[in-house]
Amino acid sequence: ALLGKKMAGQGHRIGMVSAVAALLGSIYTLVAVTSSGPQQFEFPLSNFLNYDWLSLSFYVDRLSALMMVLISTVSTMIHIFSIGYMQGDPGYSRFFSRLGLMTFTLMEMVTSGSLFTLLVWWQLVTWFLYLLLSHNNENAVAVRSAFKTLVILRLGDAALL
């Protein structure tokens, strides 16, 4: 929507640059964590709210860095495949923006350093996956499948809690 008219049919360009940057950044992170050990980042929210347990926390170790490489590699391949597959689709740019949001959210989820942060990113993964699967809202099968996925992920919420 921000550059909608100027980038009509070119929505994949920003997505591809972002996907490749995420892949390169995750490879760098894997190398850095492998050589220097795990890193933790915490942003307390207790300054704004009076809950000491409430903070956004990120923990990057070799496993989460490896998962970041895996997620960004698959995302880059999906971006490359989707350029030709989605060409001419009315929701072309919308699809790539949602795919980028999904990649970002998954990468943040695997680096969650606390249960609260994990729950926040899990909720965003659920909703972004629903939006990504139902991007073609004129196709009843796609919308129905997206809704089924949403229901299944809601059941996963109960298991996670």
For the chain, the average pLDDT equals 84
- In this prediction, residues 73-100 reach a mean pLDDT of 85
pLDDT tens figures, 57-79 = 889 999 999 999 999 999 999 98
Say what the pLDDT of residue 107 is.
Answer: 94
Say what the pLDDT of residue 31 is.
Answer: 96
* Residue 15 or 58, more confident: 58
The C-alpha atoms of residue 51 and residue 160 are separated, in whole angstroms, by: 22
Going by pLDDT thresholds of 50, 70 and 90, the confidence category of residue 113 is: confident
Going by pLDDT thresholds of 50, 70 and 90, the confidence category of residue 1 is: very low
Q: Which pairs from 155-161 meet CB under 8 Å and 24+ separation?
A: 156/122, 156/126, 157/122, 157/123, 157/126, 160/118, 160/119, 160/122, 161/119
**pLDDT surpassing 70 at residue 3:** no
* Single pTM value for the model: 0.80
- In this prediction, residues 141-161 reach a mean pLDDT of 83
